[in-house]
Structure 1
Amino acid sequence: MQVSIDVIIPSFRLEEKYILPILRLPRPADAAVKFYLIVDNPSIQPSAAIRELVDHTHIFLLVNEQNMGAAETRNKGIDVTDADWILFLDDDIAVSDDLLVVYAQAAIREPAATGFIGLVQLPPPQSLFTKAIGISGSMDIFGIAEHKSSFAWGATANMMIRRSAIGDTRFSTAYPKSGGGEDVDFFLRVRERNGFENYRTLPQARVVHPWWNNEKVSFLRPFRYGKGNSWLGALNPQYTYYDFLNTPETVLLSLLAALLLFLAGSAWAWPVLIFTAGVLAIELVASAVQTVKRGATAHPVIIGYVTALRLVYETGVLWGKLSRMQPGKIGERFHDDGIVNKVFFYRSNTYRIVKWVLYPLLAWLILHHTSA
Structure 2
Amino acid sequence: MTASIDVIIPSFRPDERYLLPVLRLKRPAGTDIRFYLVIDDPGAAVPDSIRGLVDNQTVFLLINDKNLGAAGARNRGIAASSGEWLLLLDDDVLPDEVLLEAYAHAIKTFSTATGFIGLVRFPEACSRFCEAVLASGSMDIFSIAERRPTFAWAATANVMVRRRTMGEIRFSSAFPASGGGEDVDFFLNLMTRNKGQRLYCVPGAAVEHPWWNNGRPGYKRPFRYGIGNSLLGTLHPQFTYYDFLNTPETLLLLCLLLPVPGWTVSVLVLMGGVLCIELIANAVQVLKRYPGSSAAAVYYTALLRLAQDTGVLWGKLRRGQFFRIGERFHDDGRIQKINFYHSNTYRTVKWLLYPVLAIAVAMCRTPS
Q: TM-score, normalised by structure 1?
A: 0.97
- Aligned-partner Cα distance in 2 for 1:134–1:296: 13
Q: Which residue of 2 aligns with 1:286?
A: 281
Aligned length: 367
Quote how far apart the aligned CAs of 1:298 are: 4.4
Instruction: Structure 2: state its 5+ residue gaps.
Output: none
Q: Which residue of 2 aligns with 1:277?
A: 272
Q: Which residue of 2 aligns with 1:322?
A: 317
- Aligned-partner Cα distance in 1 for 2:67–2:51: 21
Q: TM-score, normalised by structure 2?
A: 0.98
Q: Which residue of 2 aligns with 1:31?
A: 31
**Deviation digits for residues 237-261 of structure 1 (CA, Å, limit 9, x no counterpart):** 11111100000000111011122x1
- Aligned-partner Cα distance in 2 for 1:60–1:311: 42
- Aligned-partner Cα distance in 2 for 1:301–1:101: 41
Quote how far apart the aligned CAs of 1:369 are: 2.3
Q: Which residue of 1 aligns with 2:246?
A: 246
**Deviation digits for residues 42-90 of structure 1 (CA, Å, limit 9, x no counterpart):** 0012111101100000000000000000101111111111111100000
C-alpha contact (below 8 Å) 1:2/1:108 kept by paired residues: no
Please say if 1:308 is aligned against 2:303. yes
User: Counterpart amino acid of 2:304?
Assistant: L
User: Counterpart amino acid of 2:167?
Assistant: G
C-alpha contact (below 8 Å) 1:223/1:313 kept by paired residues: yes
Q: Which residue of 2 aligns with 1:220?
A: 220
**Deviation digits for residues 153-199 of structure 1 (CA, Å, limit 9, x no counterpart):** 01100000111111110111100101000000001100111111111
Quote how far apart the aligned CAs of 1:274 are: 1.4
Quote how far apart the aligned CAs of 1:96 are: 0.6
Q: Which residue of 1 aligns with 2:75?
A: 75
Question: 1:343 is matched with which residue: 331, 338, 359?
Answer: 338
User: Counterpart amino acid of 2:88?
Assistant: F
- Aligned-partner Cα distance in 2 for 1:78–1:52: 23
Quote how far apart the aligned CAs of 1:30 are: 1.2
Q: Which residue of 2 aligns with 1:65?
A: 65
- Aligned-partner Cα distance in 2 for 1:25–1:357: 54
Quote how far apart the aligned CAs of 1:204 are: 0.3
Q: 149-158 or 231-240: which moved more?
A: 231-240
User: Counterpart amino acid of 2:359?
Assistant: W
Q: How does 1:1-372 map to 2 (within 5 A)?
A: 1-259=1-259, 261=260, 265=261, 267-371=262-366, 372=368
C-alpha contact (below 8 Å) 2:120/2:143 kept by paired residues: yes
Q: Secondary structure at the match of 2:55?
A: coil
**Deviation digits for residues 291-325 of structure 1 (CA, Å, limit 9, x no counterpart):** 10112124211111011000011111111111111
C-alpha contact (below 8 Å) 1:291/1:297 kept by paired residues: no
- Aligned-partner Cα distance in 1 for 2:27–2:7: 12
Q: Secondary structure at the match of 1:72?
A: helix
Quote how far apart the aligned CAs of 1:268 are: 3.1
**Deviation digits for residues 78-108 of structure 1 (CA, Å, limit 9, x no counterpart):** 1111111100000000101110011011112
C-alpha contact (below 8 Å) 2:86/2:162 kept by paired residues: yes
- Aligned-partner Cα distance in 2 for 1:76–1:268: 55
- Aligned-partner Cα distance in 2 for 1:49–1:151: 37
C-alpha contact (below 8 Å) 1:115/1:159 kept by paired residues: yes
- Aligned-partner Cα distance in 1 for 2:307–2:47: 37
Q: Secondary structure at the match of 1:53?
A: coil
Quote how far apart the aligned CAs of 1:270 are: 2.2
- Aligned-partner Cα distance in 2 for 1:215–1:54: 33
Quote how far apart the aligned CAs of 1:272 are: 2.4
Q: Secondary structure at the match of 2:230?
A: helix
- Aligned-partner Cα distance in 2 for 1:17–1:274: 52
C-alpha contact (below 8 Å) 1:153/1:199 kept by paired residues: yes
Quote how far apart the aligned CAs of 1:368 are: 2.0
- Aligned-partner Cα distance in 2 for 1:276–1:48: 56
Q: 267-276 or 174-183: which moved more?
A: 267-276
Instruction: Structure 1: state its 5+ residue gaps.
Output: none
- Aligned-partner Cα distance in 2 for 1:285–1:29: 55
